[in-house]
């Protein structure tokens, strides 16, 4: 029997987290069972291509502008299983970026109706998406995204002592979404006798603003662009992720694999990654950040470091089996499903009320 073929649709190969996640499907244990390829498309065009595939995975977010593309994708590929991998939208993103919530949620209902299944990247995102779109929770799978973490598990665990400074690392794109400004403001108010420093890595449109906020503070340092995550991690004892919104947060996975305790914002998929490996903080509150940083030495950092690596290794080992399980279930039901999206679409040209993934 020939292998089932999966086509991944992207509209932007520059999306780092998304393209990193796709590298997982090059693993021999996956490619022995499924073939896959990545195809770049322009969803702003109203007509989608006819695609030779058994499964199509869409990796760009739905919107009013791409709605015609999604409907034509379903119409032109009626016998193909189509899956939405939702990387972008989440509860905090909606609160910050959406002015007309009812209109936005109507778009979600209309767009997601064409899909046979939805993959969310965290449990928090799945809970919100079910609420926002009306999709049944049984139609949504949660599979944590993957990043090539090779080598991070080999980095020596940090050592902690009263006489040694604690170095907090934070890295990512310098944008408002990542919340670095609040972290820097808080760090400037941390008592000098705590002997704690902050190293920030990355680049982006906010760099000049962040440097201005840091000023001449002796406990705040800029690393530059992080091209080698292992090198950056070796210089950190703890990693902070102060994001304003985050569907999952791959930085937390990378930090944990390096055995670094994490201080994460209480948004999206970040809190569910902590699991004895750090602390969750309201990073919109500078006083809360200051309190957490000044209490670092009272935390069981050595045990958190060990927990972080053990949990990251376990999470990493689960990703490939989870994807294989998902795709095998999807194709196994293909021949017996009488209520899938393709048949439903033929009967209902305007699929407003269908729950996505209605093939069970």
Model confidence at 338: pLDDT above 60: no
**Claim to verify: residue 133 and residue 245 sit in the same structural domain:** no
**Claim to verify: residue 167 and residue 306 sit in the same structural domain:** yes
C-alpha 111/C-alpha 326 separation (Å) is: 22
Residue 353 lies in a domain: no
Residue 197 lies in a domain: yes
What is the arithmetic mean of pLDDT over 69-87?
96
Residue 125 lies in a domain: yes
Residue 239 lies in a domain: yes
Residue 357 lies in a domain: no
Q: Evaluate if pTM is beyond 0.85.
A: yes
Residue 100 lies in a domain: yes
Strands (E), the chain: 4-10, 34-40, 55-58, 81-86, 117-120, 140-142, 166-173, 196-203, 220-224, 238-241, 262-265, 278-281
**Claim to verify: residue 157 and residue 299 sit in the same structural domain:** yes
**Claim to verify: residue 157 and residue 305 sit in the same structural domain:** yes
End-to-end CA distance of the chain: 24
The pLDDT of residue 13: 66
Model confidence at 142: pLDDT above 70: yes
As a 3-state breakdown, the chain gives helix, strand, coil percent values, each rounded to 5, of 40, 20, 40
**Claim to verify: residue 130 and residue 178 sit in the same structural domain:** no
Q: Which helix (H) or strand (E) holds 12?
A: none
**Claim to verify: residue 84 and residue 156 sit in the same structural domain:** no
C-alpha 63/C-alpha 41 separation (Å) is: 15
Q: Indicate which CATH number applies to the domain containing 164.
A: 3.40.50.2000
Tally of structural domains, the chain: 2
Judged by average pLDDT, the poorest of 57-61, 170-174, 328-332 is 328-332
Residue 75 belongs to domain spanning: 4-147+316-347
Query: Residue 239 class from Cβ within 10 Å (0-12 exposed, 13-18 middle, 19+ buried)?
Result: buried
The pLDDT of residue 137: 83
**Claim to verify: residue 134 and residue 169 sit in the same structural domain:** no
Residue 255 lies in a domain: yes
**Claim to verify: residue 28 and residue 123 sit in the same structural domain:** yes
**Claim to verify: residue 221 and residue 159 sit in the same structural domain:** yes
Residue 354 lies in a domain: no
CB 184 within 8 A of CB 198: yes
**Claim to verify: residue 292 and residue 336 sit in the same structural domain:** no
pLDDT of 239-249, one tens digit each? 999 999 999 99
**Claim to verify: residue 122 and residue 13 sit in the same structural domain:** yes
Q: Lay out the sheet containing 196-203: strands in order across.
A: 220-224, 196-203, 166-173, 238-241, 262-265, 278-281
Model confidence at 341: pLDDT above 80: no
**Claim to verify: residue 100 and residue 12 sit in the same structural domain:** yes
């Amino acid at each position: 029997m020939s292998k089932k073929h999966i086509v991944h649709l992207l509209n932007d190969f520059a999306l780092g987290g998304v393209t990193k996640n796709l590298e997982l499907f090059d693993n021999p244990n996956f490619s022995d069972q499924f073939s896959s390829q990545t195809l770049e498309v322009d969803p702003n065009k109203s007509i989608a291509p006819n695609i030779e595939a058994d499964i199509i995975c869409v990796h760009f977010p739905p919107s009013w502008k791409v709605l015609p593309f999604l409907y034509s994708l379903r119409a032109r590929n009626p016998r193909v299983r189509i899956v939405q991998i939702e990387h972008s939208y989440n509860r905090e993103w909606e609160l910050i970026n959406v002015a007309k919530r009812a209109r936005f949620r109507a778009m979600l209902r209309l767009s997601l109706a064409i899909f046979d299944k939805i993959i969310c990247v965290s449990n928090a995102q799945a809970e919100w998406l079910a609420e926002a779109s009306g999709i049944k929770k049984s139609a949504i799978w949660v599979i944590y995204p993957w990043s090539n973490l090779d080598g991070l598990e080999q980095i020596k665990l940090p050592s902690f002592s009263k006489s040694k400074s604690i170095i907090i690392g934070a890295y990512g794109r310098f944008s408002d979404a990542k919340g670095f400004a609040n972290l820097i403001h808080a760090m400037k108010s941390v008592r000098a006798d705590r002997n704690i420093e902050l190293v920030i890595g990355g680049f982006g449109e906010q760099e000049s603003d962040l440097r201005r906020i840091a000023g001449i503070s002796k406990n705040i340092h800029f690393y530059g662009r992080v091209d080698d995550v292992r090198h950056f991690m070796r210089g950190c004892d703890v990693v902070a992720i102060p994001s304003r919104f985050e569907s999952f947060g791959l930085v937390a996975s990378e930090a944990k694999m390096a055995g670094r305790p994490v201080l994460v914002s209480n948004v999206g998929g970040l809190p569910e990654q902590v699991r004895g490996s750090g602390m969750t903080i309201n990073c919109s509150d500078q006083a809360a950040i200051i309190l957490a940083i000044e209490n670092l030495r009272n935390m069981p950092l050595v045990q958190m470091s060990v927990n972080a690596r053990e949990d990251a290794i376990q999470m990493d080992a689960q990703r490939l089996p989870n994807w294989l399980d998902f795709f095998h279930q999807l194709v196994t039901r293909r021949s017996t499903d009488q209520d899938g999206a393709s048949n439903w679409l033929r009967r209902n040209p305007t699929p407003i009320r269908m729950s996505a993934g209605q093939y069970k």
